[in-house]
């Protein structure tokens, strides 16, 4: 479902994604709009769920979690013990409970899930996979891809801009 957004809404979203600590007054000045309009638009976009939350993006490496990995996982859709059905979504939700896990996606292709993990070292990633991840009921196999270097990582969503005219 696409919600109706005007040029000012889109400009506000762009500015908030660049720096969510900007005040409404600063945003109003940048987009040449009254302060009350900016407040109202931000409030409406929050209520509609367009703006879900505000958060700080921290430097993981400075907090001892500088090693990243992506893990592809396959789900066995039946329990090996009793043949009971196993939900892909349930397995994804179990994986999401681990603090080291940043993202869990249900995907198509040869694997069922894509997991993004942050840890202190390659060894810590290995321990996570062996001692935690592979113990989840319904997980069949995993493939771990270690990240050597991150060229781009962002939370920004490309905001479409309407053409004037």
DSSP E strand boundaries for 1-112: 67-75, 101-106
Please say whether the beta carbons of 140 and 74 come within 8 A: yes
Topology, domain 7-47: Arc Repressor Mutant, subunit A (1.10.10)
Domain extents for the chain?
Answer: 7-47, 60-146
User: What token pair was written down for 156?
Assistant: 């920004």
Any alpha helices (H) in 55-121, and if so which ranges?
88-96
**What's the whole-model pTM score?**
0.84
Which CATH number fits the domain 60-146, given the four candidates 3.90.700.10, 3.30.70.920, 1.10.3720.10, 3.90.1170.50? 3.30.70.920
Average pLDDT of span 19-37: 95
Q: What percent of the chain has pLDDT over 90?
A: 81
Average pLDDT of span 94-98: 98
């Amino acid at each position: 479902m696409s919600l109706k957004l005007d040029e000012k809404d889109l400009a506000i979203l762009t500015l908030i994604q660049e720096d969510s600590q900007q005040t409404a007054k600063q945003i109003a000045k940048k987009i040449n709009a009254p302060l009350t309009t900016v407040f109202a638009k931000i409030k409406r976009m929050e209520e509609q769920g367009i703006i879900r939350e505000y958060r700080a993006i921290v430097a993981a490496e400075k907090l001892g979690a500088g090693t990243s990995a992506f893990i592809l996982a396959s789900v066995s859709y039946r329990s090996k013990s009793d043949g009971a059905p196993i939900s892909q979504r349930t397995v994804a939700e179990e994986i999401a409970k681990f603090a080291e896990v940043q993202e869990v996606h249900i995907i198509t292709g040869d694997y069922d899930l894509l997991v993004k993990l942050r840890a202190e070292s390659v060894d810590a990633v290995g321990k996570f996979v062996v001692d935690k991840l592979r113990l989840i009921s319904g997980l069949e196999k995993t493939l771990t891809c270690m990240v050597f270097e991150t060229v781009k990582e962002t939370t920004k969503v490309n905001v479409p801009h309407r053409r004037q005219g």
